[in-house]
Structure 1
């Protein structure tokens, strides 16, 4: 059963959090509009698209992304105010232990973390569809449409190769499709040019050679000017856009990652980082709240300003460690799971130490 002091702290916590996140996002929107207004005008984005498709989903995405950081700043801000008003001292001298005082903080942190967890895994991938499509159409610079030397295993033993592939035209040069069973080549299809017929969703091959080997080891060769065939891969499977994983909820992302493992994708670590961050960011709320309370619950000469400055430094440090560790996972040999959780592990140690030396 919640006591009066619990309800008081929870009200302060959640009120400060939502006010802070509203102010920060309002400022972010103003700066974002000033930076992108020329793109909106020159590329013909409608007012409805700007407000509904982009900025409404912008608020959901970035509000959730930085929720743990904003919780941290909000915790330091209102706890420092309580400390300067000697409310913390009154609570502790009234017989409430520091550990017991943390209870309403962690109740509030749990509410925010659960909301963030649900948004990250299930809601934001849906809202990202409109936001990222808008961004791709009206904001981003033209992305590379041509790729070279693409090797993909579309399913076990089925390997495709493109010397050149155009993602916009769904076409490529010097295409090869090999089927290997039990370590032996069963068939090999080659074509000088291949394109997708979007009306039939079949691929059209020009100047093709089809070589098949039967069970007795005898080769059969078929050649022709044109061949139309359906394959077990979609055009988007050949070169998936990195941002497409942001449009998938977690069950869909898990299936996509397994399919990409089979295809031998080079971006597996990037996909895994996206997956693990959906849990690590909400969990960071608990760690940062513990640090925030431990720092701001004791009076210092610098008061609120010093506590907020310390909080900002720790936020920047946390983000820095996250960027460093994920970079190692993306381009190096570090485990994506370890990379994503390393900042939480390090800051959990800092939180435990600050809690230990905090006033009891």
Structure 2
């Protein structure tokens, strides 16, 4: 059963967190508007689209992305205030152990980590659809990034497609081939000079096509034509999955997508795995950073609140630096994506335990 002091700390924790996140996101919105106002005006974005399609989802996305850091800053801020007012000293000298003092902190951290986990795995991927479509329409624009060259994809085992050029905006490509292999031998090969998806019928139209098939006796059969309408076992979005499309998938969808990409031998597989593991590692970091924050600020220092905040920001920068370095090794090297995402948490767990050990009891 929660004591009065538990409810007091939880209330202070949550109130400080939501005040801090509101202030930081308000500042972020002001800077973002000043940077993108020209795009909004020149490309004709309405006030309703800017507010509800972009900034409402902007707040959810970035608020959740940096929630662990904001929890850390909030912990440092209100714990330093309690220490300066000798509230922490009074609690400890009143017979409450330091371990018992951590209970309300971890209860509040569990509430915030649970909210962050639910948002990151299920809610924000859906709100990202609106936000990223707005960015693509009014900010980043439609440009050469929609065009890709020399695409090789294994759609399913033994089925290989190739595009010399592919335009994701128009769902069309040039110099297309579809090869089918079985027992390390080619069974058929379809070629076309141009291919385009008819989104109304969900069929592909091939221009100047030729089909080569090889039967069980090894005899070849050739056929060709001017135009052919057909269907394939792949979707247009699967040809060139953009990196931001994984941000639009909830975790079950992402897991299914990753399994398909493993079969296809996707070169971006590590990016997808990092996104998957990050959705759990960020909420877990909440507990680690809370333990560091309380251990750091539970003792009075000559620098007071200012010094604690400075140290807290330095730790945040170090955490982000570790995360960036480890994910870079995972995407560009042979480092495991799972270890890359969790490595900062592992390192800072030892730091947190050490700071807890030396904290005044």
TM-score band by shorter chain is over 0.9
* C-alpha contact (below 8 Å) 2:109/2:290 kept by paired residues: yes
Which position in structure 1 is the counterpart of 2:324? Answer: 323
Separation of aligned partners in 2, 1:27 and 1:199 = 44
- Preserved contact between residue 135 and residue 141 of structure 2 (Cα < 8 Å): no
- Secondary structure class of the residue paired with 1:118: helix
Whole-angstrom CA distance in 2 between matches of 1:300 and 1:276: 38
- Give the Cα separation in 2 of the matches to 1:150 and 1:68: 38
The alpha-carbon deviation at position 168 of structure 1 amounts to 1.9
Specify the SS of the correspondent of 2:187: strand
Q: Deviations over 1:297-344 (max 9, x none)?
A: 001100000000000000011011111111111111111110000000
Q: Give distance in 2, aligned partners of 1:135 and 1:179.
A: 38
Report the equivalent of 1:275. 276
Of 142-151 and 205-214, deviating more is 142-151
1:166-315 matches, cutoff 5 A: 166-315=167-316
User: Offset of 1:242 from its aligned partner?
Assistant: 1.0
Offset at residue 202 of structure 1 (A): 1.4
> SS where residue 95 of structure 2 aligns?
coil
Find the residue that maps to 1:266 and give its secondary structure.
Answer: coil
Shift of 1:141: 4.3
Distance (whole Å) between structure 1 residues aligned to residue 58 and residue 168 of structure 2? 27
Instruction: Count residues with an aligned counterpart.
Output: 360
Distance in 1 between residues matched to 2:238 and 2:108, nearest whole Å: 42
- Looking at structure 1, the residues matched to 205 and 7 of structure 2 have their Cα atoms a distance apart, in angstroms, of 67
Q: Which residue of 1 aligns with 2:43?
A: 43
Q: Which has the higher mean CA deviation after the structures are superposed, 87-96 or 139-148?
A: 139-148
Distance 1:15 1:167 in 2: 46
Partner of 1:103: 103
CA distance in 1, matches of 2:241, 2:200: 21
Moved more, 302-311 or 325-334: 325-334
Separation in 2 of the partners of 1:106 and 1:250?
Answer: 25
3-state DSSP of counterpart to 1:55: helix
Name the SS for the 2:161 alignment partner.
strand
Counterpart Cα distance in 2 of 1:74 and 1:199: 52
Alignment correspondent of 1:2: 2
| Shift, 1:35, TM fit | 1.1
Deviation at 1:142, TM superposition (A): 3.7
Secondary structure of the residue aligned to 1:111 is helix
**Secondary structure at the counterpart of residue 37 of structure 2:** helix
Separation of aligned partners in 2, 1:198 and 1:40: 29
2:139 matched residue in structure 1? 139
Cα deviation for residue 209 of structure 1 reads 1.6
CA-to-aligned-CA distance 1:14-61 (integer Å, 9 cap, x gap): 111111111111111111111111111111001110111111111111
1:85 is aligned to 85
**Secondary structure at 2:329's aligned position in 1?**
helix
| Corresponding residue of 2:58 | 58
Describe the superposition over 1:119-174 as per-residue Cα deviations: whole angstroms up to 9, x where unpaired.
01001011111111111111114441221111001111110011111222222221
In structure 2, distance between residues paired with 1:166 and 1:3: 62
* Secondary structure of 1:211 counterpart: strand
CA displacement 1:50-82 (0-9 Å, x = unmatched): 111111111111111111101101101111111
RMSD: 1.0
Once the two structures are overlaid, the 10-residue window that deviates more, 42-51 or 185-194, is: 185-194
Structure-1 separation of matches of 2:146 and 2:22: 38
TM-score, with length taken from structure 2: 0.98
Equivalent pair of 2:160/2:179 in contact (CA under 8 Å): yes
Taking the aligned partners of 1:107 and 1:211, their CA distance within structure 2 comes to 65
In the alignment, which residue of structure 2 is the partner of 1:151? 152
Residue 28 of structure 2 is aligned to residue 11 of structure 1: no
Give unmatched runs, 5+ long, in structure 2. Answer: none
Q: Which runs of 5+ in 1 are unaligned?
A: none
Distance 2:150 2:39 in 1: 34
Q: Distance in 1 between matches of 2:120 and 2:194?
A: 42
